[in-house]
Amino acid sequence: MTPKILVITGPTATGKTALGIALAEKTGGEIVSADSMQLYQHMDIGTAKPTPEELARVPHHMIGIVPPSENYSVARYAAEASGCVDDILRRGKLPVVVGGTGLYIGALVAGHDFSAEADADVRGALSARYDALGGEVLLAELRAVDPMSAARLHPNDKKRLVRALEVFKATGVTITEHDARTRALAPRYDACVIALSYRDREDLYRRINARVDAMLEMGLLREVRALLDMGLTPEHTAMQAIGYKELTGVLLGREALDEAVARIKMESRRYAKRQLSWLRRDQNAHWILWDKEPDFANGLQISTEYLEKYVYNRAV
């Protein structure tokens, strides 16, 4: 029987952390973060990490586990997070996966082994060729072996171009075929997904804007300055996160603060829109739509009923 886990997801600023902690407390579960930036140490404000008080309420996993100078892949997340989930299950507890990084959630639930698909040497060589020859050359090479994948990619999309050619060179299978095979595999976990958002998109955007303002008041600019003082550069993956990228430009004298703040809000809204697009593909997601503000008491009741029915197989 496929083990069951609970997933609390949704776009940014919808209350995932609060509801996830409440559900973990109620069920005696433990939280596994599925946020690609909360993985990093020293990045607390801009990633909206749970506060020390929230972290103390229930056990948390996959938060603040790597230095911000380190690149962290979805393959590594799938391996390490599944280890956490399996340990929680072995102890008879409910894993509560909380986060909005759809790629990470998908990889964790699918549970596929990425190790055979990744080759650091091949990736490095391809990256160097991209830098030397340009994206058009690599796109032409990809088109020769995988025209379907090539048709979806732009020559400026270095990461995905390199990834597609890496998979082919390392395995002899195109990434199009690889993805088709992956989708056909049975998932590692039976994920009961609760998705949060707002009935009115404008209320979501208002909450996002307010949260950006709150992060700045909490000292986000100081947090970014501390990262730069640690030796991080705009090229580090962690510094590409929304908020960190724009404020790095401010501290390096490339942009005015008010312009950067406006751009952080705009990019956060765009990211939320992409998150919603990903979530809508999951027809089994159970949606909780807030009105003007989250009603966590009602959300907890709805979620508990969902758990009783779909996780514990008990009548409500």
Annotated binding site for substrate: 12-17
Q: Which alpha helices (H) appear in 153-256, and where do they start and end?
A: 158-171, 175-184, 201-218, 220-229, 244-251
Q: CB–CB of 288/296 below 8 Å?
A: no
Q: Output the CA–CA distances (angstroms, integers) from residue 173 to 28, 135, 165, 181, in the order listed.
A: 43, 21, 10, 10
- Which segments are annotated as binding site? 10-17
Q: CB–CB of 34/62 below 8 Å?
A: yes
Q: Which residues contact 28 (CB under 8 A, 6 or more apart)?
A: 93, 94
Phi, psi of 98 (to 5 degrees): -125, 125
Q: CB–CB of 92/86 below 8 Å?
A: no
Dmax over CA atoms of the chain, in Å, equals 62
Rounded CA-CA distance 279/261 in Å is: 27
Q: Which residues contact 8 (CB under 8 A, 6 or more apart)?
A: 16, 19, 20, 23, 96, 97, 98, 194, 196, 303
Q: What is the torsion angle, in degrees rounded to the nearest 10, for the CA atoms of residue 15, residue 17, residue 22 and residue 25?
A: 170
Rounded CA-CA distance 164/161 in Å is: 5
- Which segments are annotated as binding site for ATP? 10-17
Three-class secondary structure of residue 51 per DSSP: coil
